[in-house]
Amino acid sequence: MHPSPMTLTTSTLDSVIVIWHVAVNNGDGATAAAACTEDVVIGDLEGEIAGRAVMQRWVESAGVRLMPRDCYDVPGGIVVAQDALPRTDGSGEPQMVYSAFGLRNGSISSIHRFATLEEARSFPLAA
């Protein structure tokens, strides 16, 4: 059983990542994009796209809530294990996803999503 949906462990998460998660969970694309560098890279198995405008559109249309459960320091950033749920009603079983966040000058420079912790931790983050 997972802790309550709003439980965040912030002691080891960089504050900009916490700000980004809160913005995503509220569908606030402008705030999520502002937490990122101008050239932020967003990637998954289908490829990569870049830019704050892309981030803003993704957050506003994704319809997902991401609840951080654990985090792991990696060179150039941090990997966050998250429960993913639909933002609309939050029903259903959460799906665990792993995001590798690249950090540069206090902002998120990249976010890559993975299905396993091993994939996320081994992804080379460039600052």
Q: CATH number of the domain that 85 lies in?
A: 3.10.450.50
More confident residue, 57 or 4: 57
* pTM score over 0.95: no
Question: Closest by alpha carbon to 84, among 98, 74, 72?
Answer: 98
Residues 6+ apart with CB under 8 A from 102: 41, 76, 77, 108, 109, 110, 111, 125, 126, 127
Residue 127 placed within a domain: no
Residue 99 placed within a domain: yes
Lowest mean pLDDT among 27-41, 78-92, 102-116: 78-92
Tokens of 75: 């060179």
pLDDT of 20 > 90? The answer is: yes
Lowest mean pLDDT among 26-30, 32-36, 91-95, 112-116: 91-95
Q: In whole angstroms, what is the distance from residue 77 CA to residue 111 CA?
A: 10
Residue 97 placed within a domain: yes
User: Coil, helix or strand for 37?
Assistant: strand
Domain total of the chain: 1
Residue 62 placed within a domain: yes
Residue 3 placed within a domain: no
Whole domain around residue 37: which residue ranges?
15-122
pLDDT at 125: 84
